[in-house]
Amino acid sequence: MSERVSWVPEGVDVGRPSAARLYDYLLGGGHNFAADRALAEKFLQAQPNARTIARLNRAFLRRAVLLMIDEGIRQFLDLGSGIPTVGNVHEIARKADPEAHVVYVDFEEVAVAHSQLILEGDPRATIIQEDMTRPDAVLRSARHSGLIDFSQPVGVLTAGVFHFVPPQADPNSIVAAYRDAVPTGSYLAVSQFTQDLQPEEMAGIVEVMKKSQNPMYPRTKSEIEALFSGFELLEPGIVPTPLWRPEGTNTDDPDRAGIYAAVGRKL
């Protein structure tokens, strides 16, 4: 299946897998290419529970957005939003309040173009093409979009994103820059891969992703806690995704969830 797919336009390098399309595939989406699926197969070998992990992460994002909606948040900044797939933030938020504003941020060309396609003609949601590790540029564009009022609390979402940020990019200072741009009462949601759960499988994933354009950096619970400096962590703190405020009875094994999730409120 590695031959050129006929419906892909000339000039697009579908031979280089992307994390966004890998995630889409794991979630059952069709917005992906052979190279993405080949990488996904390797990913699945290293972590057979990957589909579940993706599903649980996506479900955490949904619950986090809904929690923020309950807390009165009506504007969201979704950092590293990736390929629009099932249950996008604006869809979830609009179900609760059609007036909710969402600004998606991604850097990858195809993800951005795809998002634009989905959001065309939508006055309350947009995608800006920026690197989320450059908060100044992101915040400038977000202000420019006119969709986010930075004097009002903002829901900042980073679901399955920070594990693509290398330590040398200083994740703590990146979060701090966003934190400083939003008022007290704003929320931050973080989910990211950890080696605390299934360290062997995690090491396998790191190895698989090393060769892609999106190498991964799992973090320990205390490293993730450091991201929440200046935030008050909401109950139950930093936990595997299925344990974060689950809906109804939980049947998923938290030890095999791969990803820690947490939501904090800016002090």
Partner 1 sequence: MELPELAARWMHALTPTAYIPLSHAEIEQALLDSLRELPESPESVAYRLVSLHATGPDSLRATIEVLSPTFELPVLARMASAYAQAMRMDAFDQQEEIKVAIVRAKQRVERTLMVSQARFQEVFDSAALGIAITDFTGRCVQANDALAEIVGLESGADVNDRDLREFYHPEDVAALGASYRKVQEGHIDRFRDQRKLVRVDGEPVWVYLAVSVLRDADGRPTHHVTMVEDISELHLLQRNLDHQLLHDSLTGLSNRQHFISQVERQLDGRPITLYHLGLDAFSVVNIGLGQETGDKLLKIVATRLSRFAAEKNAVLARVGGDEFAIMVNADTVTSTVEEIQEVLGEPTFVDDHGIALSASIGVVDRPPAFVTASELMRCANSALRQAKARGKRQWALHDPHDDARRRGKYALAASMPGAWEHGEIEIVYAPVHDLETSEVLGAVARLHWDDLSHNDTMALADSTGLSLPIGRWLLREACAQAARWVEEFGDRAPTLHIALGALQSRDEDLVADVKRALDETGLPPERLRLALDISSVLAGDDNAVVLHDSGIVTALDGFHGGHDELAVLTEVPVRSVITRAPAPDPDSPLHQAMRALIATVHSFGVRFGVDEVHTLTDAEHWRQAGADGVIGLLPALTAEEVTELLATAASPPPAAS
Least CB distance to partner 1 at residue 42 (A): 17
Among 68, 105, 112, 156, binds partner 1 (CB under 8 A): 112
Question: Mask of contacts with partner 1, 61-80, x by CB under 8 A?
Answer: -x------------------
Q: Are 93 and 100 in contact (CB under 8 A)?
A: yes
The pair of three-digit structure tokens given for residue 69, joined into one six-digit string: 């909606």
Verify binding: residue 117, partner 1, rule CB under 8 A. yes
Least CB distance to partner 1 at residue 220 (A): 26
Verify binding: residue 211, partner 1, rule CB under 8 A. no
Strand bridging mode 75-79 / 155-159: parallel
The pair of three-digit structure tokens given for residue 262, joined into one six-digit string: 């947490």
Q: Which is nearer to partner 1, 194 or 241 (CB)?
A: 241
Spell 190-201 as b/e; 16+ CB within 10 A means b.
bbbbbbbbbeeb
The pair of three-digit structure tokens given for residue 19, joined into one six-digit string: 């994390």
Cα–Cα dist 49/204, whole Å: 13
Among 2, 4, 16, 28, binds partner 1 (CB under 8 A): 28
Cα–Cα dist 178/98, whole Å: 25
Whether the bond between 236 and the residue before it is cis, its omega within 30 degrees of 0, is yes
Among 116, 141, 145, 214, binds partner 1 (CB under 8 A): 116
Verify binding: residue 30, partner 1, rule CB under 8 A. yes
Region of 25-33, 96-104, 154-162, 202-210 interacting with partner 1 (CB under 8 A): 25-33
Burial class from Cβ neighbours inside 10 Å (0-12, 13-18, 19+) for residue 9 reads exposed
Region of 53-61, 99-107, 191-199, 225-233 interacting with partner 1 (CB under 8 A): 53-61
Verify binding: residue 259, partner 1, rule CB under 8 A. no
Verify binding: residue 131, partner 1, rule CB under 8 A. no
Region of 136-144, 181-189, 247-255, 256-264 interacting with partner 1 (CB under 8 A): 247-255
Phi/psi at 76 (5° precision)? -125, 140
Verify binding: residue 42, partner 1, rule CB under 8 A. no
Strand bridging mode 125-129 / 101-106: parallel
Verify binding: residue 226, partner 1, rule CB under 8 A. no
Amino acid (one-letter) located at 227: L
Verify binding: residue 59, partner 1, rule CB under 8 A. yes
Verify binding: residue 182, partner 1, rule CB under 8 A. no
Whether the bond between 167 and the residue before it is cis, its omega within 30 degrees of 0, is no
Q: Are 68 and 152 in contact (CB under 8 A)?
A: no
Which residues in this chain contact partner 1 in the complex, by CB under 8 A? 7-9, 11-12, 27-32, 51-52, 54-55, 58-59, 62, 83, 86-87, 91-92, 109-110, 112-114, 116-117, 247-248, 251-252
